[in-house]
Structures are given as C-alpha cells and as structure tokens.
Amino acid sequence: MSDPVLVHVLRAVDIAVVERLADARFEIVGASPDWLEAAFDAAPAGSRHTLAGALPFLDHFLPVADAAWHDRGAARAESGPFVARVAGDELLLRALAVTLDHRSLLLIERLTGDADTRPILQTAREQVLAMEQLTRQAAGVQAPAAAVARVAAELAAADLGPAHRTIADALAAASAQLQAVAEALPKPPSKGRRFSQ
C-alpha cells in the first residue's frame, strides 16, 4: 500500500483501508478519509481511538471479519450497508474484510452516487405506500359498484313498463361502465405474497 498512486486512488473512491495488526490493534493504511477522521473525533471519549468506538456497527462485524481473515469459512466477508452519523450527516458505509499477501485488511467504503441506494429505495417505498393507499380507496369503490351491478341486474330482469325499461337499461349500462372501472383499480395482493423471503 506504499504506492502513492494507489493511496490516491483509494482516497478518490472514498475507501479507507485499515489493517488488523498481530496484537489485535488496527492501523489505518495510507491516507485516512476526512469522514473517518471525523468519526474518530465524534466517538465517545472512552473509545475514541478504537475502530468500533468510531463506527459501532463494526463491533458486530469484526468477529465476522476475523473469521474471514483466519480463513475460517469465507475468504472475504462483507458487512452490508450501515449508517454512521458523522458531523451531523448520515453516511452510508460498507465494510469488506479481505486477506491480501497475508495481511488482514478491512476496506471501509463510503457509498455515494449510484452506490447510495437511499434515494431509490425512498422513492420505491413511497410508491408502494401510495399504491397501498390507492388499493384501500379502491376497495371502498369496488364493493358499492358490485352492489349497484346486482341491483341493476335485478331491475333489468323485472317486468317493467316501457318508461321504466328505459331507465333500467340506462342504469345497467352505467353500472357496467362503473363496474369495469372498479375492476381495473388495484386489488390487495394475495395473502402470503407481500414480499419475497
């Protein structure tokens, strides 16, 4: 990691590289991103200089990483995204534990741009909520529309004079249109198919 170009590349892509040393301490390799420095500064006084103190999620991930470093299972381990509150901002991070050249490394990546899925998920979930709301409103239309269709059918089957027949036919036509629209509105999903497992 002494290659200055590599150090600049890692800084440009906002990846911090931390090495686990033989005495179980951690050492930042190369340049430390500003956000990691800020996370260390913001950590509680008693744990200011520990990685898990700066990024509490890593307290949970480090045993998993340790297994990867010691090749007890997967040769690499990914943390999945986690949020760190740093200087008033919520940073989306992801850690990757790898062993390179017998060195136990932890790559902590700040997810930005396309890698930051928060805006996409926010929009997707807002749309799902809007669809749920529409489905509830649709249910309020579908039941009455079906009831009107039943009444219209009963009326159409009745023995009516010419004047009432005209009214019944008009009602049946309007009801059929209403029924078609109501049927096209969203319906609640089948039970047990709310999301994949």
Contacts with another protein, residue ranges (CB under 8 A): 56-57, 60, 64, 80-83, 85, 90, 92-93, 117-118, 121-122, 124-126, 128-129, 132, 191-192, 194-197
Q: What is the DSSP string of 37-103?
A: HHHHHHS-GGGTTSHHHHSTHHHHHHHHHHHHHTTSS-SSEEEEEEEEEETTEEEEEEEEEEEETTE
Closer CB to another protein, 60 or 150, in the complex: 60
Distance CA 78, CA 64 (A): 9
40 vs 168, beta carbon nearer another protein: 40
**Smaller CB separation from another protein, 93 or 168:** 93
64/160 with CB nearer another protein: 64
Tell me how far, at minimum, the Cβ of 26 lies from another protein, in Å: 19
Task: Please state the closest distance from residue 12 (CB atom) to another protein, in A.
Answer: 23
Residue closer to another protein, measured from CB, 117 or 166 = 117
CB of 112 to another protein, least distance (A): 13
- Report, in Å, the least distance between residue 147 CB and another protein: 22
Nearest approach in angstroms of CB 44 to another protein is 8
Partner residues linked to 97 by β-bridges: 77, 106
Task: Report whether 61 contacts 95 (CB < 8 A).
Answer: yes
Cα–Cα distance, 36 to 57 (Å, whole number): 14
What span, in angstroms and rounded, lies between the C-alpha atoms of 67 and 70? 5
Contact (CB, 8 A) for 106 and 20: yes
d(CA 74, CA 107): 16
How is 164-178 classified by DSSP, letter by letter?
Answer: HHHHHHHHHHHHHHH
CB of 117 to another protein, least distance (A): 6
Of residues 67 and 178, the one with the C-beta less far from another protein: 67
